[in-house]
Amino acid sequence: ASGCAYVAVYGTLRASGVNDIRRLAADVRQVGTTQLQGTLYDLGWYPGLRLHGGHPLVAEVYALNATLEQALDRIEGLWPHDMGEYVKRVVTQAVRAPDGAVQPLELLVYEATPHLVAGKPVIDGVVRRQRPRAARAISAEQHAPAHRLNAGAKPAAGSAR
- Tell me if 23 sits within 8 A of 38, measured CB to CB: no
Burial class (CB in 10 A: 0-12, 13-18, 19+), 160: exposed
Q: Is the peptide bond before 80 cis (omega within 30 degrees of 0)?
A: yes
State the pLDDT at residue 90: 97
State the pLDDT at residue 68: 97
- What are the beta bridge partners of residue 91? 107
Question: What is the pLDDT confidence band of residue 126, given thresholds at 50, 70 and 90?
Answer: low
Distances (CA, A) of 149 to 1, 42, 88, 124: 9, 24, 6, 28
| Average per-residue pLDDT for the chain | 83
